[in-house]
Amino acid sequence: MLIERQMGHLTQLVDDLLDVSRLKAEQLRFQPARIDLRVAVQRSLEIVSAANVDRTHNVSVVLPHDPVWLDADVVRIEQVVVNLMSNAVKYTDDGGRIAVRVSNGPGRAELRITDNGIGIAPEDLPRVFLPFARAEGARARSSAGLGLGLSIVQSIVDLHGGSVVAHSAGLGAGTEFIVFLPLASAAV
């Protein structure tokens, strides 16, 4: 079990490094199709849940009743959700709260992932999406990872014509990431 976990961790690190390299070289494979954001979020949550069966977070998920259509690469959108959810799990104590909400705004979809975890110091917020950036609290909390996940998230969201922002009231106050993605043209 430990060896499998370590292999998975090493594989993820290599994948992250390759993605960063591909993004810089503008060679990241991108296969847009009509997708329902709700389905991508549900599948991503299943992946994160399976990888963290030993954790005991209170996760709430709010999805709209109607489809949220995007013209997007489903694999990359799921990668965004998995990265954000994995951070929420990693930096929130067992028993903590994580909320996932998908909604439609004017011409865009909105994905919010909010936790009541360790939060981000105000001075660290402006650089949270920079490659290899890890806030002091994050380094102390986990030696795993290279600090590439949020940079990859931002790059993928940018490639989709969207944006991502991070909010935190400070250390100990939790974090919220909001991803904005354009709705599919027929859905606007």
* Range with lowest mean pLDDT among 10-24, 32-46, 127-141: 10-24
Q: Contact at 8 Å (CB) between 67 and 38?
A: yes
* Range with lowest mean pLDDT among 4-13, 131-140, 160-169: 4-13
Q: Contact at 8 Å (CB) between 108 and 127?
A: no
Per-residue model confidence as pLDDT tens digits over 128-163: 998 877 665 555 555 556 678 898 899 899 989 999
- pLDDT band of residue 25 (cuts 50, 70, 90) is very low
Question: In the predicted model, is pLDDT for residue 165 greater than 90?
Answer: yes
User: What is the Cα–Cα distance from 180 to 177, expressed in whole angstroms?
Assistant: 10
Structure tokens at 12: 């993820």
Q: Report the run of H or E that residue 156 belongs to, with start and end.
A: helix 149-159
Residue type, 1: M
- pLDDT band of residue 60 (cuts 50, 70, 90) is very high
Choice between 22 and 156, residue whose per-residue pLDDT is larger = 156
Q: What is the mean pLDDT of residues 5-22?
A: 53
Q: Which CATH class is domain 2-187?
A: alpha beta
Tell me the domain boundaries of the chain. 2-187
Q: What is the pLDDT of residue 55?
A: 85
Query: Residues near 83 by Cβ (< 8 Å), separated by ≥ 6?
Result: 149, 150, 152, 153
